[in-house]
Structure 1
């Protein structure tokens, strides 16, 4: 048997249900080869055996694979548009009990940012964010809610004072914010999508996907949104064929279900 990258993709899918074919191959293969070399393992077959037999290394592999780069209020100008224009518009259309999904939420920076942004318009106890990620390890970290000063540098000062407590060199998000977020595990390329969302936020994740996989996710988001619901994407992303999929473009990063 040839234990090449094609074989490895199948083995990874059988083990994790993560479909590496949906990721840009050159970029992902380079990342994986680097990790395998770092662990002093030679060969894809040996590495699969290695992570099967070592729980910590299996978690390390999944964490590495899912490329978790996150921070609060990432790309601040876009969050200002969200806070000043999009949220008031959503409230006028759907009321204050908004149904919002933070997809591929990583370590929680994004859903917690959403809670804080919404808190300027809606009483905290009325806010509920549904947050999902493929990686159980980052969800566990999100639930702890401990962040570096670099992670929270863009948080507005009033919200930083209100919702964070300094603990040593780190900052702890308040329990009242944490209680507004429900975390769970979800694979954007494999699992079914709930529907009726007033807003879906998925930012700086799909850049790693193939064009076909991106289209599949954008179509699924469109179907999952309520009529006139909003999709908020990242600054490195765009939906070229948004009209064909069924979106109207509000600006560079916000798309409305047409």
Structure 2
């Protein structure tokens, strides 16, 4: 269990990480305690908590503390024999093995004030020549100390610093700049400086030579293993790792093979078994100033920030890349890079993807999966093989597009169409019933006329035909009863129609040939704030509502002609609440024996 001082020290390290982004939790505690204690002794502060308070009040103390912790000891050609071995055994064979014009990528991790990065530039300049150096070489130099990076970007050094540079190289690669010396500006562009924390930031990828000298020794063994795993990922298949004299890789033989133990030069080995270290495949830290950023870095950064979830799987079935949306949807993060894809839940849930990956690789075409249900969302999945020309695929890209909103709109539209069809069928049925009732009424009228004629002709025989008259009266009563029932049925049909219209989600308006409103549903009231008793009987085009009714004239005219198919239009409008909306208006003819007697308008927001 930690005592009070140890707990306060860990809280101080956490505060440094949260306040300034420096993660020292992976550094050796003995060295950290000694260096932080040195600053506290200078300020005469005995308690770690009090020192944290002092940092909050005096932000300038951060710089002094970081300079004390980060012992930036570096120089040109530090340990010359090791640099000479690197040139003979690594740089010259590497250049000879590469195709003419092929790019060369190097990374100087923990570069401090830049001497090591410029040493690499001079060595490659001697191997390639200045022109090839400018055209082919990119040296990425990173550190966590922004002040040191600012000094490195200026590329100016005093005469004492240049004493370690061979005189012929100093004359060839440096120019006088006042009392100091500046690295040649035309070659300075080959070196790109940026902030990178080896413990928590992503490494740079596809590196041919990675130098990290006397930096690992400040980390704990666990942190060293994690950083070396990132280095292994960063290096190309034939890449080389160059460490300092105080560092060795005795405990990391599965990752690197020593080629020069004395000078700490190691060759990258293929990883067998477990996945790659937790990282993504891009350098995410910004490069300051006007140094050019590689297209590859921008492409990877854009992919990571893409709103569409994406996972890249190699042809061997290993996870090569995932972006932020993939982590949000499936929990696949940079920590899973290098793991077998089949070990991840997303490989079989929500859909068995491994079969489709095999199909895409075998057929070399994109495989589409639609309406894949994932929790409360629907996804459209694309499995696309990645290949260059006719070569074998390098892997596949899995793209997960969220189509939940589109599916909901489609389902809503289908529901509305079904409801509209049902309403139309019910209206049609009601219309047929009304036609039947009208025929019955007509028949009754004819019977009444016949009876009246008979009464007139038999008036003189009234007394003798009283029984016949009584029979006729009974028939009249029956006819009246049928008429009453027909009228009640008509009222019921109208009430039924009103009930149907009131439950439709769309507003329904019915007009006759003269555009007089004959029906105005409750949803139409809700849309435009006009009651049915105010609307019925009015001319449609005379209504003063938030809908531009004049623009409906052509649509209604086509419907009333009886020759056009049902049409629709989308209009910008203002509803009864004063809110701007877009309304879809569909218009269909209301037919009677094949002739249009009116039009039905369906309005839906």
TM-score for the superposition, normalised by structure 1: 0.91
Structure 1 distance, partners of 2:112, 2:98, is: 27
Instruction: Name the stretch that deviates more: 166-175 or 57-66.
Output: 166-175
* 8 A Cα contact 2:205 2:233, kept in partner: yes
| 1:125 maps onto 2:116 in alignment | no
> For 2:144, which of 126, 129, 134 is the aligned residue?
134
Structure 2 distance, partners of 1:54, 1:168, is: 35
Q: Which residue of 1 aligns with 2:19?
A: 15
Matches within 5 A, 1:85-124: 85-95=89-99, 97-122=103-128, 123-124=132-133
The structural deviation recorded for 1:27 is: 1.7
3-state SS of paired residue (2:71): coil
Instruction: Name the stretch that deviates more: 204-213 or 119-128.
Output: 119-128
Structure 1 distance, partners of 2:105, 2:225, is: 23
Q: Give the paired residue count.
A: 257
Report Cα offsets for 1:139-187 as digits up to 9, x if no partner.
Answer: 0011122223343322121111122234565433222332211100000
3-state SS of paired residue (2:33): helix
The structural deviation recorded for 1:14 is: 2.0
3-state SS of paired residue (1:12): helix
Matches within 5 A, 1:78-227: 78-95=82-99, 97-122=103-128, 123-126=132-135, 127-167=137-177, 170-227=180-237
> For 2:32, which of 25, 28, 34 is the aligned residue?
28
Report Cα offsets for 1:12-52 as digits up to 9, x if no partner.
Answer: 22223333331111122111111122134442223223233
Structure 1 distance, partners of 2:49, 2:181, is: 41
Q: Which residue of 1 aligns with 2:259?
A: 250
Gaps of 5+ in 2: 270-605
3-state SS of paired residue (2:88): helix
TM-score for the superposition, normalised by structure 2: 0.41
* 8 A Cα contact 2:16 2:22, kept in partner: yes
Matches within 5 A, 1:32-51: 32-51=36-55
Q: Which residue of 1 aligns with 2:77?
A: 73
Structure 2 distance, partners of 1:49, 1:169, is: 41
The structural deviation recorded for 1:88 is: 1.2
Distance 1:257 1:93, change over 3 A: farther
Structure 2 distance, partners of 1:198, 1:192, is: 17
* 8 A Cα contact 2:134 2:187, kept in partner: no
* 8 A Cα contact 1:242 1:249, kept in partner: no
C-alpha RMSD over aligned residues: 2.0
* 8 A Cα contact 1:195 1:224, kept in partner: yes
Report Cα offsets for 1:221-243 as digits up to 9, x if no partner.
Answer: 11111101111111111111232
Where has structure 1 moved over 4 Å in runs of 4 or more? Answer: 166-169
Structure 2 distance, partners of 1:234, 1:79, is: 11
Distance 1:72 1:54, change over 3 A: same
* 8 A Cα contact 2:173 2:184, kept in partner: yes
Which is higher, the Rg of structure 1 or of structure 2? 2
Distance 1:193 1:81, change over 3 A: same
* 8 A Cα contact 2:216 2:247, kept in partner: yes
The structural deviation recorded for 1:104 is: 1.0
Gaps of 5+ in 1: none
